[in-house]
Amino acid sequence: MWELIRAGGPVTWLIMASGVVAAGVFMERVLHLHRARIKSEDFLLGIENNLRHGNVAEAVAICDETPGPVASVVRTAIQYRAAGLETLRTAVENVGRAEISRMERRLVALASVAQVAPIFGLLGTVLGMIRAVLAIRQQAPLVEASAITDGLLAALVATAAGLAVAAPCYVAFNFLVGRVEKIVLDMERAAAEIIGYLNGSRSVDAPVGEEQEEES
C-alpha cells in the first residue's frame, strides 16, 4: 500500500492528507452531535413540571446542566417568558439559528474534500500521463517499459486515491447532515412546545436574571 502511495507522487500524498483531515473532522462532529442529541420529551416534561410548581431557578439549572441546542433554546424561552409573544419567539429563533450554525461548523470541510479530492486525482492522472509521454519522447526510439509504466502507475494511483477519499467523505457529509436535521427537528418541536406552554401560563412577570437580582 505504501509503495503505491509513494508511486502516486506528491498529489497522492496531498489527497491522503486531506482524507486524514476529513476523518478527524468527521469523528469530532459525530461526538459533538451525539452529545447534542437528548430525549427532548423527557427533558421538556421535567422543565414544565418545575415551572408548574414555580421552580424557575431549578428549571434553568436543568437547562444549564443539559448539553445540546434543545436545552439552550428552552433556557432562552424561560428567560424571556415575561416578554411579549413576538419578543419571545424572536429570541428563541435567534438562539436556534446560532445553534444550527454551531452544529454545521466544519461540515464544509467534508464537503470540500469530497469535491476536491477527485479533481486532485485528475491532476495526478494528467501529471502521470505527462511523465510517461516525456519518457517516451526522451528515450525514443528505444523506450524502456519501466519509464512508461512509472508514469502510468502514478496516474492510476492518483485517480484511485482521489475516488477512495471522495466517496467516504461524501457519505460522511450526508450522514452528518442527517443527524443535524434530526436535532433541528427536535429543537423546533421543543421551541414550539415551550413557547405554547409559557404563552398559556404567564404567572411570572420578570425574567430569571431580574428575579435573581431582586432576591440578592
Among 72, 109, 110, 63, CA closest to 91: 72
pLDDT given at position 159: 92
pLDDT given at position 213: 40
pLDDT given at position 207: 41
pLDDT given at position 152: 86
pLDDT given at position 175: 95
What one-character-per-residue DSSP string does 74-104 give?
HHHHHHTTTS-HHHHHHHHHHHHHHHHHHHT
pLDDT given at position 143: 63
* Cα 145 from Cα 150, distance rounded (Å): 9
At 148-192, the pLDDT tens digits run 788 888 889 999 999 999 999 999 999 999 999 999 998 999 898
Residue type, 190: A
pLDDT given at position 208: 40
What are the pLDDT tens digits along the chain (216 aa)?
A: 667 667 767 888 999 999 999 999 999 999 999 888 888 888 888 888 888 888 888 888 989 888 889 999 999 998 888 887 888 888 999 999 999 999 998 899 999 999 999 999 999 999 988 888 888 887 767 667 777 788 888 889 999 999 999 999 999 999 999 999 999 998 999 898 888 888 775 544 444 444 434 343
pLDDT given at position 27: 95
pLDDT given at position 1: 65
Among 33, 180, 174, CA closest to 114: 174
Domain boundaries, the chain: 2-215
pTM over 0.85: no
